[in-house]
A and B are shown apart, each in its own frame.
Chain A
Amino acid sequence: MNSLVFRLTLPILFGYLPLGMAFGVLFTTQLGYAWWAAPLMGVVIYAGAGQILAVSLLAASAGLLEVFIAMFVLNARHLFYGLSLLGQFRRAGWRKLYLIFGLTDETYSLLTSRPRSQDTLKELDIDFRITAFNQVYWVIGCILGALLGRNVAFDSTGIEFALVALFIVLTIEQLKALGDAFPVWVGAAAAGVAMIILPPAHQLIGAIAIVTAVLLLQYRNLRAKPAAEGHSHV
């Protein structure tokens, strides 16, 4: 069964090793903390973009409330992953908590797209192993990157741009999946407004508040126009 799981997760291995290494290199070259804190974050936090954002929050010695809000909002998309797996995980028993903990973007896409047999318990066991294999790849990447960043002397000035590049890539992927540029413009405009009217420490939270408000207004407007959606009152 493990060789089946390995084959299923091979593409994730090729994604997680280099991305985990990028995080590890960033962590040890940008910050003065012990190298093993990088893989420790891979074990207890386990979030790609989240951990890379965490490096810049650590570098800025961000307040813990800001850390919580920034990490929560960055990972808020996971709220909606869980919604589609409520049924699938219902009978998972002791495995359920770890399945939920390990629900990264990549694991989610694998668990929801692979073919499943009628044997629910066997399939849940495979889900569990997939989740564990993926996290192992991620932590190995974090270790390799942290050791590389600590031991290989090179000028790492500018390597923090990896975070910006990652967010640009994720924006394009979201845009392609959605086929609607409206939320992308709202996000960019909200960031612009927040950067003009707020000091740097409050810009992220401010922009997130603006985005949420605009999406709620858009929702209300869509509801108010029954013509657009047929009979929409629930």
Chain B
Amino acid sequence: MSDTVYLTAFIAVAAAATFATRIIPFLFFERYTEHPLVKHLGRFLPAAVMALLATVFLQRSADWNAVLPGFDAILAGVLVVIVHLWRRNALLSIAAGTATYMVIRQSGLLESGIIG
């Protein structure tokens, strides 16, 4: 598959999946809005999915072969939590964590080992 074909197919699939989540309630759910199972999933599923995604991608962005395994991502992640609990400004929290991670990665601070 050529790059252009793949990108076109990718965008079409991603658009269809996103639109599906927005239109399904209007197509099928009209009768089930009050069903307790729908309410239960509506309450708990979003938080569980976000925690799941945060965990998977945090693990993938960490360098587990460093002197302090995983510290690059864990430090930046903890900073995001602290800044967000402190100011509760999403953009500030994201910028602080990303900048910290970029500095750690680009300086090689934790790989080469100040300690080791």
Contacts and interface: CB of A to CB of B under 8 A. Distances in A.
Greatest chain B CB density within 10 A among A32, A96, A211 is at: A211
A94 interface: no
For the residues of B in contact with A, the DSSP-based class is: helix
Contacts of B68: none
B13 A68 contact: yes
Contacts of A89: 26
A207 interface: yes
Contacts of A77: 21, 45-46, 49
A74 B52 CA distance: 10
Interface residues of B, number: 67
Contact of A18 (B16, B46, B91): B91
Contacts of B53: 53, 74, 167, 187, 191, 204
Nearest to A182: B44
Contacts of B56: 191, 194-195, 203-204, 207
Contacts, number: 258
Nearest to B44: A183
Nearest to A47: B18
B58 to A, nearest CB: 5
B41 interface: yes
Nearest to A234: B36
A82 B9 contact: no
Contact of A159 (B16, B19, B59, B102): B102
Interface residues of A, number: 94
A98 B13 CA distance: 18
A75 B21 contact: yes
A101 B54 contact: no
16 contacts: A32-B3, A53-B53, A72-B21, A77-B46, A77-B49, A80-B42, A158-B106, A161-B102, A162-B94, A167-B53, A174-B50, A187-B47, A187-B49, A191-B52, A211-B48, A212-B45
Given A64-B10, A80-B25, A83-B29, 19 more contacts: A61-B6, A64-B13, A67-B17, A75-B17, A77-B46, A81-B22, A158-B106, A162-B98, A165-B77, A165-B97, A168-B54, A169-B93, A172-B84, A174-B47, A175-B47, A178-B44, A183-B48, A184-B50, A191-B59
